[in-house]
Amino acid sequence: MTRKILGFLAFVATGVGLFVSTVMKESNFLFILLTLAIAGLYAIGLMDHYKELQK
């Protein structure tokens, strides 16, 4: 179980890092909004996946 959680946390950190670096480098406001919308869907998917890991 601990190994699965550590893998999950590594996946979360990678995704969040990619989103943050993309938003910081981008100057187009529309692209930033689109990236944040995708990040929201990413977060929802992560919550569902975390619940599955808890079982």
* pLDDT score of 1: 75
Whether residue 16 is predicted with pLDDT greater than 90 in this model: the reply is: yes
Residue 37 — φ and ψ, nearest 5°?
-65, -45
DSSP letters, 1-55, are: -HHHHHHHHHHHHHHHHHHHHHHHH---HHHHHHHHHHHHHHHHHHHHHHHHHH-
* pLDDT score of 13: 96
How many domains would you assign to the chain?
A: 1
How far apart CA 20 and CA 30 sit, in angstroms, is: 16
Could you list the residue range(s) of the whole structural domain that residue 25 is in? 2-54
* pLDDT score of 26: 87
